[in-house]
Amino acid sequence: MNTIKVNGTTGLGIYCHIPFCLKKCAYCDFSSFSCLSEDTIRLYFEALHKEIRNFVEENKNSVLPAVDTIYFGGGTPSSVDAKHIETTLALLKEVFVIKDDAEITIEINPGTLTGDKASRYKKAGINRASVGLQAWQDFLLKILGRIHSQADFIRTMKILKNTGFENFSVDVMVGLPGQKLADVMETLGALMAFSPTHLSSYSLILEADTPMANWVEAGQLELPDEDEERQMHWAVDAFLKEQGYEHYEISSYCRPGYESRHNVKYWEMVPYLGFGLGAHSYFKGRRYGNVNEINQYCELLMAGKSASIFEPVMEIREMMSEWMFLGLRKLGGIRDDDYSACFGESFFVRYGEVINSLIADGLLAWDGSVLKLTDRGQDFGNRVFMAFV
């Protein structure tokens, strides 16, 4: 078996998509499937392993950085038999050079983790968990169509703690139908008892053709209005900062030193590889993504073909644009010096007019070296990001 040759100090990130869930949530339009047989799951992992081996074969003469982050996302990676995660991680360790201090994360949904699974993850080298709670209140979990209850979440936390997982993130959501500010605060208050190192707070986005979008459209559910949703966001922000968390990306908070090293790569345009259904990669200056249909994905790989659809080689203009709007997601902002080191000129050369107009509107702040979102800019993030496209 070939292995990747390594060089360079900036680590490589690897994402593996596990597209299986026990049941589809009412708001979800991700690449995930429920009720698939164990045979399908086994075939999927065979195809996933083939994709990894194919990549290594095709790049056997390339010199790549050592891997410093691996992320099993989904879907619900914790819903499948732990052996699939173990064999995938073993394969990655066989063919890539993985740094000793690599951050290796798995997404977990409450209700799918057992003590046995948690210890096997730990033994396999997983050292970070990302747990999807969304809300503390059972009535909200029901509306969302989540498979778990508050009690399941508490059990999952106990399992993680007992297995020695100290580094874990919890996802929460704001702007849910029927959710009040008091519910959001109760969720955060309850979470503090578990001392997560990281929290992600997302606003519900209604995706077309999901059951939730249809219920809202039919008037069966009502969303909080925009002001209420923003109030929830700022209440989360104030509470977590008071508790010592840093707000380091629009949706992400962490204890000092516990940023998601993997996710930061997406905002800093560092190369990463995505394996699995619909997974995206940024590698050798090109973006590409895999097909989204599971049978097609498996058939292509099992027939020895590629499942990737390549985008044209990125032009320098596109790279500049991505560098700006992805980087501005980080609350610490972007440095003109870093931009100049990448592109050989100040970002004011291309974007001076756009930047000055966003500063005039109070959406961006410039201190002479760093450009970043203001509080108002966070409320109108999409307007800021689109201005650089």
Is the CB of 279 or the CB of 328 nearer to ligand SF4? 279
**Rounded to the nearest whole angstrom, what is the least distance from the CB of residue 30 to ligand SF4 in the complex?**
4
Site for ligand SF4 in 61-120 (CB under 6 A): 74-76, 109
Could you list the beta-strand ranges (E) of the chain.
5-6, 12-18, 63-64, 67-74, 98-108, 128-134, 168-174, 198-203, 246-249, 252-254, 272-275, 280-283, 286-290, 308-310, 334-335, 364-366, 370-373
Q: Which is nearer to ligand SF4, 30 or 194 (CB)?
A: 30
Q: Choose, by CB under 6 A, the member of 12, 16, 21, 143 that binds ligand SF4.
A: 21
Q: Is 16 in the site for ligand SF4 (CB under 6 A)?
A: no
- Beta-carbon contacts of 142 under 8 Å, excluding residues fewer than 6 positions away, are none
Which residue among 18, 32, 210, 259 contacts ligand SF4 (CB under 6 A)? 32
30 lines the binding site for ligand SF4 (CB under 6 A):
yes
Nearest 5°: phi and psi at 98?
-105, 130
> Is the CB of 50 or the CB of 262 nearer to ligand SF4?
262
- Work out how close the CB of 19 gets to ligand SF4 at its nearest, in angstroms, rounded to a whole number: 8
CB of 375 to ligand SF4, least distance (A): 29
Binding of ligand SF4 by 327 (CB under 6 A) = no
The reply on whether position 25 binds ligand SF4 by CB under 6 A is yes
Residue 10: CB atoms within 10 Å: 12
Find all residues with CB under 8 Å of 5, minimum gap 6, and list them.
62, 63, 64
Decide whether 148 or 350 has the Cβ nearer to ligand SF4.
148
Task: Round to whole Å and give the CA distance between 329 and 333.
Answer: 7
Is residue 287 near ligand SF4 by the rule CB under 6 A? no
Listed ranges 3-11, 28-36, 159-167, 180-188: which one lies at the site for ligand SF4 (CB under 6 A): 28-36
Part in contact with ligand SF4 (CB under 6 A); list of ranges 18-26, 89-97, 186-194, 330-338: 18-26
Beta carbon nearer to ligand SF4, 260 or 321? 260
Nearer to ligand SF4, 193 or 208 (CB): 208
b/e sequence 286-313, b meaning 16+ C-beta within 10 Å: eebebbeebeebbebbeeeeebbeeeee
Give the span between the Cα atoms of 273 and 287, in whole angstroms.
Answer: 10
CB of 262 to ligand SF4, least distance (A): 17
* HSE-up of residue 75 (Cα within 13 Å, Cβ side): 28
Q: Calculate the CA 191 to chain-centre distance.
A: 20
For residues 271 and 352, the answer to whether their CB atoms sit within 8 Å is no
Q: How far is the CB of 74 from ligand SF4 (least distance, A)?
A: 5
| Residue 104 vs residues 16, 127, 129, 133: alpha-carbon distances, Å | 11, 5, 8, 20
| Residue number with CB closer to ligand SF4 (148 or 247) | 148
Closer by beta carbon to ligand SF4, 133 or else 236: 133
> CA 342 from chain center: how many Å?
25
Interface residues toward ligand SF4, by CB under 6 A: 21, 24-25, 28, 30, 32, 74-76, 109
